[in-house]
Amino acid sequence: MSDFPRWKYALVVIVLLFGIVYALPNVFPPQPAVQISGNRGSAVDASLKTKVEGMLAAAKVPPSSIEIDAKATRLLARFGNVDAQAKASDVLRAGLGDSYTVALNLASTVPSWLRAINANSMPLGLDLQGGVHFLMEVDQNAVIDAQETRYADDIRSLLRDKNVSYDAVNRNARGQGVSVVLRSDADRQQAASLIATDYPDLTVADGPATGSRFILNATVKPTKLRELAQSTITQNVTTLRQRVNALGVSEPLIQQQGANQIIVELAGVQDTAEAKKLIGATATLEYRAGLYTPQQAVDAARSGSVPPDAKLYYGRDGRPYLLSKKVIAKGDELTSAVSGRDQQNGTPNVSVSLNSAGARKMQEFTNDNVGKPMAVLYITRTVETKMVDGKEVKTPKITEEVINYANISSPFGKQFSTNGLPSDTEASELALLLRGGSLAAPVDIVGESVIGPSLGADNIDKGFKAVMLGLGLVLVAAAIYYKLFGLVADIALFFNLVLLVAVMSMIGVTLTMPGIAGIVLTLGMAIDANVLICERIREELRNGSSPLASIRTGYDKAWATILDANVTHLLAALGLMTMGSGPIKGFGVTLFIGILTSMFTSVTVTHAITALIHGGRKLKTLSV
């Protein structure tokens, strides 16, 4: 067996040690915990820890431990079981109020020395770990409103640029497009030609003429509305996925369902209120020109008479502002957002960068308006649920606040800062949401469900038993049929499972029930390579070859067949990974990794063990 060099022994030992170390974290089950984080700048410090300890002691729910993370952004209280976790959560929610967010969590129990080398247990999917499931519906009316408003603004600008006289450009009822009031039939014909040329997605038709009023109606074509609805869904799915990924929820399932619905599943999140905070936030910014003086804004707020080119908004201090109806730049034109503090006065801020289109508009506006005010509008959208005649009625509520109002000191374009945020926490949350992107249209949660951890524990138990049963049957069959070589194959099969779990843990693959099915299938397929090797060795022995020569030839000749068979399996698994989604993708990822590890263990590891057993010995026969 001199054909198996020492460097291969070293390689096998290193790889197997690597597998053992990085698979080890999975034997440490997560511990039920309650996570507490501050809202709007509420501190997470030693005084909060003392307060939580007192509340839990009074409620007779002793925690296993209480710790504050290194960044002082959250406090984690661990408990021995889910019953204590649930009771502690209720106590802390009632005692801490709205100043803090209290959420259920599953805390890692992996030793610190393993975490230091980035050895962590596999995250579990929704079907194993539990979590929340949301059915979200896109507000298509808001899509139509936004598009028709945009067309109205564009038509005004077009007519103004082309010097076409008009009296008004107004939106009709939702879905009825835009009406343009012109002063003569000639103006109407010219406007119709310009609109039809510049906006082919609009259907232009003459309206009734009364005296000196000549009306032109421009409606959005149905094909454009359908295209807009689909693109809105697609963009919202992408934005939600980016937002959830940025917030650290591992392997979320976010996909379209039907014409205007989106499914969101977050594994490991057991608190629906916390999950809604993660995915339902629609905070964004708008930059608008400040119009009129502060006194004129106060007068408009008192009288209710707002100039036609302005809209009345309020700051957080209740001060009124008259801002332009036209938006300079919006949150969906941001390319990056980073929270920090203003160097001059030390207040929290968000430094933003605009894309090329937004930067161009901002540069043009600031060039022409140095010394004039510009406002930053902070917009959030929530949904209020009320019971009307025994039925739930969901009403969207949009809050628009002016968080910054200042004169432009010098022109700027792509990069600048937004000041006026009340706390570092809110600045950080806003930057996070802006980085995740603005939703193309509002989404409302129309259905929600929580999958409890008990169901996950039951699934894990069944999956573990399935793996052990499959592995045990294969081990027994191999040992009986191929004797010593079967036992060697069994050892390699065990290490195949260890390496598979190690690789999945290291790259952060989320384990689901389909993934467990992939592991079972991998273990069943992995023995095929050893069957080919053992049968080849038997054939060589029958042909009169010596035992050592039979072993050498068995491994050499069987390798080509093993490679061909596994390449086809790899292609199939690759197809499942790239083209599939959800459970199919999870199954494909597990199968792909399992095939790679089985090729190493079935050939290289078994060859190394066989060389150690038979090398340097004079053999008359083989136990195969």
- How far is it, in rounded angstroms, from Cα 488 to Cα 4? 16
The strand pairing partners of 303, in sequence order, are none
Tell me how far apart the alpha carbons of residues 93 and 78 are, in angstroms, rounded to a whole number.
16
pTM: 0.61
- The pLDDT tens digits for 166-206 are 888 888 877 788 888 888 888 888 988 998 888 888 888 88
- The reported pLDDT for the residue numbered 430 is 65
Tokens for 62?
Answer: 């002793």
| CA distance linking residue 44 with residue 428, whole number of Å | 15
SS3 per-residue string spanning 55-69: HHHHCCCCCCEEEEC
Type of residue found at 71: K
> Residue 499: how many CB atoms within 10 A of its CB?
25
362 in helix, strand or coil? Answer: helix
Determine whether 468 is exposed, middle or buried from the number of CB atoms within 10 Å of its CB (0-12, 13-18, 19+).
exposed
What pLDDT does 481 receive?
86
Q: How far apart are CA 518 and CA 336, in angstroms?
A: 39
Report the pLDDT value the prediction gives residue 597, as an integer from 0 to 100.
92
User: 381 near 398, Cβ under 8 Å?
Assistant: yes
Backbone angles phi, psi at 400, to 5 degrees: -120, 115
pLDDT at 277: 62
Q: Which of 518, 491, 488, 513 is nearest to 503 (CA)?
A: 518
What's the confidence (pLDDT) of residue 2?
46
Residue 320 in tokens: 């009124």
| Long-range CB contacts for residues 172-178, cutoff 8 Å, separation at least 24 | 172/217, 174/141, 174/144, 174/145, 174/148, 175/144, 176/217, 176/219, 177/148, 177/151, 177/202, 177/203, 177/217, 177/218, 177/219, 177/220, 178/148, 178/151, 178/152, 178/217, 178/218, 178/219
Q: Are 49 and 43 in contact (CB under 8 A)?
A: no
- Name the CA dihedral angle for 153, 157, 162, 163, rounded to a multiple of 10 degrees: 100
- Looking from the CA of 117 toward its CB, the CA atoms found within 13 Å total 10
**Which residues of the chain register pLDDT less than 50?**
1-2
pLDDT at 382: 65
Of 378, 438, 73, the C-alpha closest to 243 is: 438
Using CA atoms, how far residue 533 sits from 281, 339, 488, 537, 570, in Å, is 58, 60, 12, 6, 20
DSSP assignment of 155-223 equals HHHHHHHTT--EEEEEE-STTS-EEEEESSHHHHHHHHHHHHHH-TTEEEEEEEEETTEEEEEEEE-HH
- Please choose, from the candidates 348, 277, 350, 244, the residue with its C-alpha nearest in 3D space to the C-alpha of residue 100: 277
Q: Which phi and psi (to 5°) does residue 123 adopt? A: -65, 145
- CA gap 38, 47 in Å, rounded: 13
Q: What is the dihedral of CA 354, 356, 358, 359, to 10 degrees?
A: 70
Token representation of residue 440: 């193309």
pLDDT at residue number 1: 42
Q: Which helix (H) or strand (E) holds 447?
A: strand 443-451
Of 463, 508, 453, 496, residue with least CA distance to 120: 508
